[in-house]
């Protein structure tokens, strides 16, 4: 069996929550983790090993864990596979680096066995990640929402993302683990806050589908997770408060510490506006303008957004 023509796999980063869509909404962005299959041995070894990883990963790589989880889930005997991994997605940054690695492992598994249904892939990813939102965007591209059911496979729904909208993402130099960010959250939220978020997340989806961008600033507001995480995220409050006519909305990216704003023009200037917010606080950060990775994008067209470190 030859894998020469199908050896390279690219998986996008993702920005989750988008304000009030906690553990529900995510959008894939053009920042990539790339895996290259360098050796396949038809020995039934059912194992994947990473011969080289950039940046290096301590412990077992999530690509390996996902490959092995897929083998257990399906019960298939598969070859031993060796891969190299290169990622432009910063780790512990709220940009879905772990989900991208998991999805990459699942895609490698598919390459050496057979395609699996989206529901199965998402279920395996959610079992490893603890939630399905980033994995859904990484698997399907574009804007996705998820439905998780007890004892059943999760389901992902696709939504249209306007091509003209981009995300300007600021990533502080210091990372933040998802576990620490989740530990800051309360198990109980007031009814008024629940209603507030439900109203706004529906307004967000409506605004993106209808092109009513004037609604995005309010629709991206949140009372569930961002206030609880503000003390852990440098300059979150300052980014959320930025007042510029070209900023359509602002929110925490996933669990943080990256933040994101929405815009449809003037991207270079807005990068400078966001970067200056971190500079004034003496907080090193990389600012990138990222397009959305749409479902139709081929892996060979993958490219990372430009960025500046401030």
Per-residue H/E/C for 72-112: HHHCCCCCEEEEEEEECCCCCCCCCHHHHHHHHHHHHHHHH
For residues 137 and 96, is the Cβ–Cβ distance under 8 A? yes
Per-residue pLDDT of the chain in tens (310 residues, 90 and over written 9): 444 445 699 999 999 999 999 999 999 999 999 999 999 998 888 889 999 999 988 878 999 999 999 999 999 989 999 999 999 999 999 999 999 999 999 999 999 999 999 999 999 999 999 889 999 999 999 999 999 988 889 999 999 999 999 999 999 998 888 888 889 888 999 999 999 999 999 999 999 999 999 999 999 999 999 999 999 999 999 999 999 999 999 999 999 999 999 999 999 999 999 999 999 999 999 999 999 999 875 333 333 344 545 5
Sign of the alpha-carbon torsion through 168, 172, 173, 175: negative
The first and second tokens of residue 208, run together, are 């993106």
Residue 44: strand, helix, or coil: coil
Count CA atoms within 13 Å of residue 226 on its CB side: 26
Domains 4-159 and 166-309 share a fold: no
The first and second tokens of residue 85, run together, are 């991994």
Residue among 10, 33, 9 nearest 111 (CA):
9
Residue-level pLDDT at 42:
87
Count CA atoms within 13 Å of residue 171 on its CB side: 24
The residues spanned by each domain of the chain are 4-159, 166-309
For residues 164 and 261, is the Cβ–Cβ distance under 8 A? no
Number of CB atoms found within 10 A of residue 160's CB:
13
Quick one: DSSP state of residue 61?
-
Q: What distance, in Å, lies between the first and last C-alpha atoms of the chain?
A: 48
For residues 293 and 142, is the Cβ–Cβ distance under 8 A? yes
**55 cis-preceded (ω within 30 degrees of 0):** yes
Helix (H), strand (E) at residue 255: none
Residue among 181, 182, 141 nearest 28 (CA):
141
Using a 10 angstrom Cβ sphere, with 0-12 exposed, 13-18 middle and 19 or more buried, the burial of residue 214 is exposed
The verdict on pTM exceeding 0.85 is yes
Residue-level pLDDT at 307:
54
CA–CA separation, 71 vs 78, rounded Å? Answer: 8
Quick one: DSSP state of residue 213?
G
- Fold assignment, 4-159: Ribosomal Protein S5; domain 2 (3.30.230)
The first and second tokens of residue 69, run together, are 């989880």
CATH class of 166-309: alpha beta
């Amino acid at each position: 069996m030859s894998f020469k023509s199908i050896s390279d796999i690219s998986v996008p980063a993702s920005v989750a929550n988008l304000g009030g869509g906690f553990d529900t909404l995510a959008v894939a962005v053009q920042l990539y983790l790339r895996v290259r299959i360098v050796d396949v041995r038809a020995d039934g070894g059912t194992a994947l090993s990473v011969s080289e990883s950039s940046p290096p990963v301590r412990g077992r790589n999530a690509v390996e864990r996902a490959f092995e989880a897929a083998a257990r889930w399906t019960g298939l005997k598969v070859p031993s596979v060796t891969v190299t991994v290169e990622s432009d997605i910063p780790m512990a940054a709220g940009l879905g680096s772990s989900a991208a690695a998991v999805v990459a492992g699942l895609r490698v598994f598919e390459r050496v066995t057979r395609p699996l249904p989206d529901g199965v892939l998402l279920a395996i990813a959610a079992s490893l990640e603890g939630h399905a939102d980033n994995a859904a965007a990484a698997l399907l591209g574009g804007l996705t929402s998820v439905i998780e059911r007890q004892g059943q496979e999760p389901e992902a729904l696709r939504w249209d993302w306007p091509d003209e909208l981009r995300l300007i993402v600021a990533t502080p130099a210091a990372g933040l683990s998802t576990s620490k960010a989740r530990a800051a959250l309360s198990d109980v939220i007031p009814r008024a806050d629940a209603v507030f978020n439900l109203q706004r997340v529906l307004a967000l989806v409506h605004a993106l589908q209808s092109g009513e961008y004037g609604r995005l600033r309010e629709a991206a507001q949140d009372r569930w997770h961002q206030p609880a995480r503000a003390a852990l995220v440098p300059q979150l409050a300052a980014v959320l408060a930025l007042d510029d006519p070209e900023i359509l909305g602002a929110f925490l990216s996933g669990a943080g510490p990256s933040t994101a704003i929405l815009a449809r023009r003037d991207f270079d200037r807005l990068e400078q506006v966001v970067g200056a917010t971190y500079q004034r606080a003496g907080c090193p950060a990389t600012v990138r303008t990222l397009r959305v990775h749409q479902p139709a994008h081929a892996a060979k067209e993958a490219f990372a957004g430009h960025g500046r470190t401030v």
